[in-house]
């Protein structure tokens, strides 16, 4: 049995919309609409127990999960919601021990969740260019205990000469213009490695998809995830009246080797694949044409509207 002590993290839970995430500190108290919550009252109790406020309201002492941290995260930007976090992990097959790269740390909601899955041996390398967000992210990572499993760096992946790492299992992109980093992401990924991008607009999905095809990704899938809550009550079960709005779209793909150059070559040779040296042939087209590619994508896409 796990008892709450000084410095234990606790979610004071009154109801789904009234809950407070704290670190227990003997002398502190939380003043709320439902009364005063004295930290000291929680000490020595088992997680799941309740305390009573001075207004006679029961508050449960829950052990915070990554979900609770994310829903209470301090965010300067839009966070990635659990419904989307979950699908990212399930679709990309993220597991402990993996090496993850993330472009665009934001408030670190995605970073934290993914770190909680790949730890203790896996690691998340996350890049951002905004010092303010980086500070918020660092604070958030620390709060949920994930800072050891994450390396934050101020680096603009779009313009980087040499990518800071390779052989990543999964790459995550959370930028306004995700298509601009596809060539770099490709270089950082293992063969067959997955990429996931957070795309709030349909236009981003469209441009990104074009860039992914151009940069030899396959199994490309764009999705939208709708979570509806249900009020299950005796004799009165129905969906909740409370609305659900848009959060974001997601775009997934896996790195492949299209061997375009070799294909052209091989055309004159009767379509035989030069299987003896797949590496050189496949690696080269990635680095350079990829950059041209992007330019092309831009030109095309602007004329397409």
Q: In the window 160-189, what residues touch a second copy (CB under 8 A)? A: 167
211 binds a second copy (CB under 8 A): no
Please count the residues of this chain forming the interface with a second copy, following the rule CB under 8 A. 105
Nearest alpha carbon to residue 229 among 70, 48, 17, 85: 17
Among 38, 72, 225, 260, binds a second copy (CB under 8 A): 225
Residues from 63 through 82 that contact a second copy (CB under 8 A): 63, 65-68, 82
Nearest alpha carbon to residue 165 among 89, 103, 97: 103
Please state the closest distance from residue 131 (CB atom) to a second copy, in A.
26
Among 13, 127, 149, 179, binds a second copy (CB under 8 A): 13
The contact pattern for a second copy, residues 81-100, with x = CB under 8 A and - = no contact, is -xx-xxxxxxxxx-xx----
193 binds a second copy (CB under 8 A): yes
239 binds a second copy (CB under 8 A): yes
Give the C-alpha distances (Å, rounded to integers) separating 156 from 128, 160, 181, 202, 271.
7, 6, 10, 24, 40
Residues from 278 through 297 that contact a second copy (CB under 8 A): 278-279, 282
20 binds a second copy (CB under 8 A): no
Please state the closest distance from residue 231 (CB atom) to a second copy, in A.
8
6 binds a second copy (CB under 8 A): no
Residues from 103 through 162 that contact a second copy (CB under 8 A): 113, 116-117, 119-120
Distance of alpha carbon 251 from alpha carbon 87, whole angstroms: 11
Distance of alpha carbon 178 from alpha carbon 182, whole angstroms: 7
Give the C-alpha distances (Å, rounded to integers) separating 132 from 164, 177, 248.
22, 20, 23
Structure tokens at 237: 């079960």
Structure tokens at 284: 């080269």
Distance of alpha carbon 38 from alpha carbon 57, whole angstroms: 13
Name the residue nearer to a second copy (CB basis): 76 or 93.
Answer: 93
Residues from 21 through 60 that contact a second copy (CB under 8 A): 41, 44-52, 56, 60
The C-alpha angle 300, 301, 303, rounded to 5 degrees, equals 70
């Amino acid at each position: 049995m796990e008892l709450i002590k000084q410095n234990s993290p606790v979610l004071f839970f009154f109801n789904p919309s009234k809950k407070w995430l704290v670190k227990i500190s003997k002398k502190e108290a939380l003043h709320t609409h439902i009364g005063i919550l004295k930290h000291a009252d929680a000490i020595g109790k088992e997680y799941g127990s309740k305390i009573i406020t001075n207004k006679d309201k029961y508050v449960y002492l829950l052990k915070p999960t990554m979900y609770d941290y994310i829903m209470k995260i301090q965010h300067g930007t839009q966070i990635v919601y659990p419904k989307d976090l979950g699908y990212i992990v399930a679709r990309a097959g993220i597991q402990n021990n993996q090496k993850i790269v993330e472009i665009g740390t934001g408030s670190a909601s995605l970073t934290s969740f993914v770190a909680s899955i790949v730890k203790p041996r896996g690691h998340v390398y996350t890049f951002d260019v905004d010092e303010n967000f980086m500070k918020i992210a660092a604070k958030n990572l620390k709060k949920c205990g994930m800072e050891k499993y994450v390396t934050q760096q101020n680096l603009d992946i779009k313009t980087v000469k040499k990518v800071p790492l390779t052989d990543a299992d999964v790459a995550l992109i959370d930028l306004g213009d995700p298509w601009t980093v596809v060539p770099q992401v490709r270089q950082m990924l293992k063969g067959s490695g997955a990429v996931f991008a957070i795309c709030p607009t349909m236009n981003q999905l469209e441009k990104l998809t074009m860039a992914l095809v151009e940069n030899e990704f396959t199994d490309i899938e764009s999705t939208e995830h709708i979570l509806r809550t249900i009020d299950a009550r005796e004799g009165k079960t129905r969906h909740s009246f409370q609305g659900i709005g848009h959060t974001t779209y997601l775009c997934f793909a896996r790195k492949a080797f299209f061997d375009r150059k070799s294909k052209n070559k091989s055309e004159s040779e009767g379509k035989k694949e030069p299987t003896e040296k797949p590496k050189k042939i496949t690696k080269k087209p990635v680095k350079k044409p990829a950059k041209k590619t992007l330019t092309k994508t831009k030109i095309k896409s602007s004329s397409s509207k």
